[in-house]
Structure 1
Amino acid sequence: MIHQRKLAAFLSVMITVALSGCSGGGKTESHMHTVANMSMEPIKVELNWSPQQVTAGQKVTFEALVTQDGEPVNDAKEVLFEIRSNSNTDKKLEFTGESAGDGTYKAEGIVETAGEFTVTSHVTARTQHSMPSKKLVVQP
């Protein structure tokens, strides 16, 4: 009798678990449909700044143009500009990019010291991450 009760309780739990796994209401299917419609083409990031010739202490506008399949990406989750000194790798600046529309993200900042730097834009968009870098020479 005890074994029958344990078996009945076990079967009841198993049926409940099995049925709850089937009650997604199509959520899995709609999620799969969304993923299937997302382009597998990599995002492209063009990194620039203005002015092109930078002087120490001058305000600089860093810009990342983000595209996918030749179309602007306006829904990036994160755009971060990292400026790292080439002579002192511990020294770095970070500026958060804000959307300016048409796939363009901008941030303003000031590099206080002269020297050579590496600018890296960290862009996370559409389940992808891109980190293009360019050399920046800041004049005294």
Structure 2
Amino acid sequence: MVIVFFSVGILGACGSNEETNDSSEKTSLEMIEVDVKTQPSEIKSGEVTEIQANVSQGDEKVSDADEVQFEIWKEGAADNEHIKKKAKLQKDGQYVIDFTFDETGKYFIIAHVTARDLHNMPKIEVNVQ
């Protein structure tokens, strides 16, 4: 009878550990989200624009990213004409660079974000006046 209670106790403990492991796996596998914005939202050539990447994982702001880099190019530009700039953490989960667009036209911006063993690289399109 003691053996039966002991066995039930061991099985019960194993079951609770599995639940704990499942919930931490869900947290660690949750994708990082990256929201790319510009300040101001209407961009003028020759003026400084702040480009932001707001990084989060679930409800948590990610301030420990391994790398945040912006890749910027004008429509039609060759690959070797893409400009890459590393961003700096400005505040909780927000990484920024200052950038001046020299010409009017359509540009593309990719935020390359590596954090918590995950990578996300959203692309946005902006029109420079």
* TM-score, scaled relative to structure 1: 0.70
Amino acid at match of 2:39: S
- Partners in 2 of 1:50 and 1:78 — Cα distance? 21
- How far does the alpha carbon of each residue in 1:4-27 deviate from its partner, in whole angstroms, 9 at most, with x for none? xxxxxxxxxxxxxxxxxxxxxxxx
- The correspondence for 1:41, drawn from 30, 45, 56, is 30
Alpha-carbon RMSD across the aligned residues, in angstroms, is 1.6
Q: Does 1:120 align with 2:99?
A: no
* TM-score, scaled relative to structure 2: 0.75
Which stretch has the larger CA shift, 93-102 or 120-129?
93-102
- How far does the alpha carbon of each residue in 1:68-95 deviate from its partner, in whole angstroms, 9 at most, with x for none? 0210001001111111111223432222
- Partners in 1 of 2:48 and 2:67 — Cα distance? 22
Structure 2 residue ranges without an equivalent (≥5):
1-20
Which structure: larger Rg? 1
- Partners in 2 of 1:101 and 1:56 — Cα distance? 27
- Partners in 2 of 1:89 and 1:49 — Cα distance? 23
Higher relative CO (CA 8 A, sep ≥ 6), structure 1 or 2?
A: 2
Structure 1 residue ranges without an equivalent (≥5):
1-32
Report % sequence identity: 31
